Structure 1
C-alpha cells in the first residue's frame, strides 16, 4: 500500500459578516441611552424636590397678629411665679393670655430644655409663630379641638426672645429661601 499525500487546497478566506460586533455595539448604545435617561429623570425629580423645599421653607414661620393668638402660659419648673411673669410679658407683646398657671398635665415631667409649645391640629400654624418667642422649645401636638396654644416654660428657660429677634427670625426666612431657590 502506498500512501499518497494529497494536500487539500486551502480554502479561500471568506469575509465574515460583523454580526456579533454590531449586536454588541447596539446593546452598548441602548444601555448608554438608558443610563442617560435615568440621570436626566433623576435630575428633574431633584429639581422638583428643591422647588418643593423652597416653597415649604417660605411657609415655615408664619407672621401672625399677636392680638389674634390665644395662649396659655404654663410653668413646668419649680420656680414660683414664672408663669405669671412670662404671661405678663406675652400680654405686653399683644398676645391674648387666657391662663397663667403651673403645668398639671401628665407631660409635666417630660418637658426639657427651655420649654415646649403644645397645640392641636387647628393651632399648628399659630404654634410655629409662638415657638419663635421661646428659642429652643420643643413642640407637642395633642388632640385639642381649638386653636389655643400652650406655652410651657421648661427647666432651662432663661428669657423670651426679644421682638427684634422674632422679627429677624421671620425676615431672613423669606430672603434666605429666595436666595437658595
Structure 2
C-alpha cells in the first residue's frame, strides 16, 4: 500500500471522473490586488494635495490673495462695519443703592416719573466726579419706613452731598423691583455711574433735567449699600472698557 493511500482504502479501486482536478498552488488573489491598487491611488492623491498646500504656505500665495481681495474691496464699495455704540447706558456696576426722585409734587418728581416711563438710557462716561460734587436725592419707593433716611446718612458718610430725602412719587411708588433706580440727566451721567457702584443691582435712567443731581430711588430688592472696598471694585469694573473683537484670520 502506498503511503498516499488513506487508511481503510486498501484493496479498493477508485476512478477519477469529471474535468475538475486539484490545484497545487493558491488561487489568484484578485481582490487583494484591486484593494492594493485603490490604496496606492489614494495615497498618491493625498501626497499631491499635501504638496500643493505646502507650496501655498511657503510661497505666501494664500495671504497674497486675501490681501489683494481686501484691497479690491477697500478700493471699490465701502466695507460694512458694526456701528459704534454711542448711547450705551452707564454701567450699573455691581452697586447703587437706590435712586429716586424728589418728593411728590415737586418738578424733580415729575421728571423722575417721566424718566421711569420713557426708559431712556444714560450716555456712557469715564470722567467720574468726587462724591462731594454729587448731589443725590434719596427716595424710598418701598413700604419700609425710614429706609431713605438711613441710606442718606450712609451716603453722607461716604462724602456725597444729600439733597431731598423722602418717599418716591406715586409714579415710582412700589414700582422699582430691583435694588435701586438711578435717575439723572445727561449732565449727571458720571454721577449716576459713581452712585451705581455703591449698590448691587441698580439700574440707570435718563430724564430731561439739566443739572448734575441724581435721584436715588430705593427699590424692593434693596438691603444695604456695598462695602466701601466692594464699591471701589465695582466702580473700577464699570469704568473698564469693553474688549474689542479681533478680526478673524483670513478676513479683511
Q: Same fold (TM over 0.5)?
A: yes
Q: Which of 91, 107, 126 in structure 1 is aligned with 2:172?
A: 107
- Deviation per CA, 1:123-177, whole angstroms, max 9, x where unpaired? 1111111111122111111112211101110001011112111211233556x64
Aligned to 2:147: 82
| Distance in 2 (alpha carbons) for counterparts of 1:81 and 1:60 | 33
The answer on whether the counterparts of 2:128 and 2:193 sit within 8 Å (CA) in structure 1 is no
Matched residue of 1:161: which SS? coil
Question: Structure 1-normalised TM-score?
Answer: 0.64
Q: Does the residue aligned with 1:152 lie in a helix, a strand or coil?
A: strand
Offset at residue 105 of structure 1 (A):
4.6
Partner of 1:171: 236
Whether 2:160 is the aligned partner of 1:98: answer no
Q: Counterpart in 2 of 1:72? A: 137
Secondary structure at 1:167's aligned position in 2? helix
Task: Show the counterpart of 2:182.
Answer: 117
What secondary structure, in the 3-state scheme, does the structure 2 residue paired with 1:138 have?
Answer: strand
| Structure 1 gap segments, 5+ residues each | 1-31
Corresponding pairs, count: 141
SS at match of 1:151: strand
CA contact (8 A) 1:70 1:95 kept: yes
Change (3 A) 1:147 1:35: closer
Does residue 126 in structure 1 map to residue 191 in structure 2? yes
Larger-Rg structure: 2
- Secondary structure at the aligned position of 1:116 is classed as strand
Q: 1:60 to 1:121 in 2, by over 3 A?
A: closer
Q: What is the root-mean-square deviation in Å for CA atoms of aligned residues? A: 3.4
Structure 2 length normalisation: TM-score? 0.47
Tell me how far apart the structure 1 counterparts of residues 153 and 175 of structure 2 sit (CA, whole Å): 25
Counterpart for residue 23 of structure 1: none
CA separation of 1:111 and 1:172: change in aligned 2, threshold 3 A: closer
Deviation at 1:60, TM superposition (A): 4.9
Answer yes or no: is 1:141 the counterpart of 2:206.
yes
Partner of 1:150: 215
> Which structure has the highest helix share of the two?
1
Paired residues of 2:142 and 2:174 also in contact (CA < 8 A): no
Give the gaps of 5 or more residues in structure 2: 1-66, 92-123, 245-252
Secondary structure of 1:110's counterpart equals coil
